[in-house]
Amino acid sequence: MTDRFARAAVVGTGMMGPGIAVTMARGGSQVSIYGRTEESVARGLAGVEAALSFLVENQLLPAGEARVLRERIQGTTDLAQAVDGAGLVQESIAENLEIKRDLFRRLEGLCSPDTLLCSNTSGLLISQIAAVLVRPERAATMHYWNPPHLVPLVEISQGERTAAEMVEALHAYLRRCGQVPVVARKDIPGQIANRLQHALLREALYLVQEGVASASDVDLALKMGPGRRWPVYGVIEHQDVVGLDLALSVQRSLCPDLYSVPAPPSVLEDKVAQGELGVKTGRGFYDWSQRDVGAVKARRDALLCVLAREWKEE
């Protein structure tokens, strides 16, 4: 039986594309990365090599296997060449509905009728993106988390017309790639984890806005408290352990007081209006002229390596 994922393509060479390509190569696919220019393709392939080197240096991948994976990944500025023979095309471009729609139109004209078309969108609906397709049943969200080669979660979001067979095939493929897929059976903005993340962010910003706590203390409370448990102990799982009667009692008391305005807290609106965008401008809720973002990411990745090694041993 022919492996429908023997060839795959990643459209996009930015932040996520190289890591996604590495995960697909780990699943046995020959992967083409498409970029619009030779420079973007070169950056994408450099990102692939950096990701593989990091995995080797941290004993998450043997050097010989890394060389094999690198040989499976090629770059091109020719979209038709990139998707030729691909059973799966993963889009990872700008988070803009019309730009993604235009790409999906092009892909449908270039790909075979049974090629699966996936978007890495974190907030848009795949049903809206795929509305321009003749065959929207072959489109789904396949949302990776950054960095894809270290964070195992991938969210599959089933559109209004996505074929159930496609969801099952993607789920099995992602497991083969060493990822951990979850399925959103309804097409809602943000899938699963982003909705949870932004619900938490809204309350976190509200606490800062109302002067309950500083941004650093809010972050510290999460990192040193529930965040320590989350890698092995989900929020719903925790309620089962402590007792749903207790959970209900706390919810009845707390829910009426949680920030539930259907808009971002004004403290975030004000920061953006003032041009305080975080690392990119040097100041946000933190003064990044006094902090090394590279060091922060290095600590993040070091912990992700520890978690990856622990998870592999289970």
Q: What is the mean pLDDT of residues 85-101?
A: 96
**Band (313; pLDDT cuts 50, 70, 90):** very low
155 tagged catalytic: yes
pLDDT digits (tens, 9 = 90+) for 159-203: 999 999 999 999 999 999 999 999 999 999 999 999 999 999 999
Catalytic residue among 65, 160, 194, 203: 194
Q: Which residues contact 256 (CB under 8 A, 6 or more apart)?
A: none
d(CA 63, CA 61): 6
What pLDDT score does 310 carry? 82
What is the CA angle 138-88-122, rounded to 5?
Answer: 75
38 tagged catalytic: no
Give per-residue burial for 292-309: e unless 16+ CB within 10 Å, then b: eeeeeeeeeeeebbeebe
- In this structure, how many other beta carbons lie within 10 angstroms of the beta carbon of residue 36? 13
- In this structure, how many other beta carbons lie within 10 angstroms of the beta carbon of residue 1? 3
- Bridge partners (DSSP) of residue 34 are 11, 76
pLDDT digits (tens, 9 = 90+) for 111-170: 999 999 999 999 899 999 999 999 999 999 999 999 999 999 999 999 999 999 999 999
What are the φ and ψ backbone dihedral angles of 174, each rounded to 5 degrees?
A: -65, -35
CA dist list (Å): 266 to 3, 205, 214, 288: 51, 9, 15, 22
d(CA 292, CA 300): 13
Catalytic residue among 92, 119, 120, 155: 155
Given a cut of 70, whether residue 312 has pLDDT beyond it is: no
CA dist list (Å): 37 to 47, 75, 76: 15, 10, 9
122 tagged catalytic: yes
**Band (314; pLDDT cuts 50, 70, 90):** very low
The radius of gyration of the chain's CA atoms, rounded to the nearest angstrom, is 21
Catalytic residue among 122, 127, 149, 157: 122
Query: What tokens were used for 43?
Result: 């950056």
Given a cut of 60, whether residue 260 has pLDDT beyond it is: yes
Alpha carbons within 13 A on the beta-carbon side of 215: 13
